[in-house]
Amino acid sequence: MRAFFTLAVLLSLGMPSAAATEPDLSALARRLDDLYRSDTCIARLELIAQNGPQSRHLQIKSWSRGREKALLLIEAPAREAGNATLKIGNNLWNYLPNIARTIRIPPSMMLASWMGTDITNDDLVKESSYAGDFVLTLEGRAAEPKGWIVLCTAKPGVVGRWQKIRLWVDDSAQLPLRMEYFDRRGRRARTQTFDSVREFSGRRVPTHMVFKNEDEEGRVTEIRYLDLQYGARVPESTFSLSRLEKK
């Protein structure tokens, strides 16, 4: 669900400027990190997980407060409706309504798939910071997609899944266009593309993201934001285990 939070960062990006001046990378990293920490947000999204011959369509509603707290509730299909995931800091709990049980995800399952998608539990709780964890360097102009290429390299000593992320941003360095994730062995493991820019709560953001797993042919996850409400009222009590079971 790193994608989900990445999207939250992107949602708070400001309006792009028309000039293709060389981007200020420190400002870009800070902006990404700051925007990632939006105070409150309620989102409704559609998730399509393609895994070989199988395809799953989920509709999800989410509530979040900053980077620390989030609640994800599957609303459709009916068979999966009511399944929920609660994140508080680095902890995750899953709730399954058919057995009415909430179970904390142990560290050993952090790299397991979240709800059968290409997103891992680890992606949900990771708190990577572009300014804190990566060194950004400008690689140059990109022809396709048109914009700038920025290389984000993990700082020495930073423990994380990605060694580097190659980031394509638009001319104004406001909207991401594409990201290539390289794992600790230097192999490209995931490619993420962004499109369908829309405006929510006065912010223009890409609402459609496609995650392609480069390790496994035919494994693709799509996320499409249907609605985003920044600054929506999200009570603190939303993020409790008892509320999780009442959702």
Partner 1 sequence: MAFSTDLRIAFRNLGRNPKRTALGVGAIFLAQVAVLWFMSFIHGYENLVFEAVTGPMLGHAQIHAEQYRKKHELWNSINQASHLMTHLEKNPAINQVVPRAYAPVLAALQENGETALITGLDWDKEIHAQGLLEDFLPKDLPGSGEVLLGANLAQVMGVKPGDTLALIGQSADGAPAGGLFKVKGTVSTALDSVNRKGILMSLPALQKFLGMPDGVHEIMLRVKTPAELPSLIAALRHDPDLRGLEILSWQTLQPQLATLLKTFAQENRFILVLIFITAAAGIANTMLMAGFERTHEFGVLLALGCRPRRLITTLIYESLALGLSGVLLGTLAGAGLVAWEFSHGLTFGGLKDFAMMGIRLKALHPFLLPSDIIRSVLCVAITALLASWWPAERVVKLNPLEAMRS
Q: Do 139 and 155 form a contact (C-beta atoms < 8 A)?
A: no
Residue 102 as a binder of partner 1 (CB under 8 A): the answer is: yes
Phi then psi for residue 52, to 5 deg, are: 60, -125
Which x/- pattern over 201-230 shows residues binding partner 1 (rule: CB under 8 A)?
---------------x--------------
Residue 115 as a binder of partner 1 (CB under 8 A): the answer is: yes
Residue 246 as a binder of partner 1 (CB under 8 A): the answer is: no
* Distance of closest approach, residue 136 Cβ to partner 1, in angstroms: 35
Query: What is the C-alpha to C-alpha distance for residues 206 and 177, in angstroms, rounded to an integer?
Result: 8
Residue 34 as a binder of partner 1 (CB under 8 A): the answer is: no
**Which is nearer to partner 1, 101 or 187 (by Cβ)?**
101
Q: Do 166 and 186 form a contact (C-beta atoms < 8 A)?
A: no
DSSP 173-211: S-SEEEEEEEETTS-EEEEEEEEEEEEETTEEEEEEEEE
- Return the axis-axis angle of helices 25-36 and 2-11, rounded to nearest 10°: 110
* Distance of closest approach, residue 125 Cβ to partner 1, in angstroms: 16
Cis peptide bond prior to 77, omega within 30° of 0: yes
Residue 49 as a binder of partner 1 (CB under 8 A): the answer is: yes
Residue 99 as a binder of partner 1 (CB under 8 A): the answer is: yes
* Distance of closest approach, residue 246 Cβ to partner 1, in angstroms: 16
**Which is nearer to partner 1, 121 or 193 (by Cβ)?**
121
Among 103, 111, 139, 235, binds partner 1 (CB under 8 A): 103
As given in the structure block, the two tokens for residue 142 are 């990109």
If we measure between CA atoms, which residue out of 210, 220, 201, 207 comes closest to residue 175? Answer: 207
The conformation of residue 61, written as its DSSP 8-state character, comes to E
Stretch that binds partner 1, among 49-57, 125-133, 148-156, 174-182 (CB under 8 A): 49-57
Residue 180 as a binder of partner 1 (CB under 8 A): the answer is: no
Residue 124 as a binder of partner 1 (CB under 8 A): the answer is: no
Residue 51 as a binder of partner 1 (CB under 8 A): the answer is: yes
Q: For residue 163, what are the CA distances in angstroms to 74, 97, 135, 198? A: 32, 38, 11, 31
* Distance of closest approach, residue 95 Cβ to partner 1, in angstroms: 10
List contacts with partner 1 (CB under 8 A): 49, 51-54, 56, 79-80, 83, 93-94, 96, 98-99, 101-106, 108-109, 112-113, 115-117, 216, 241
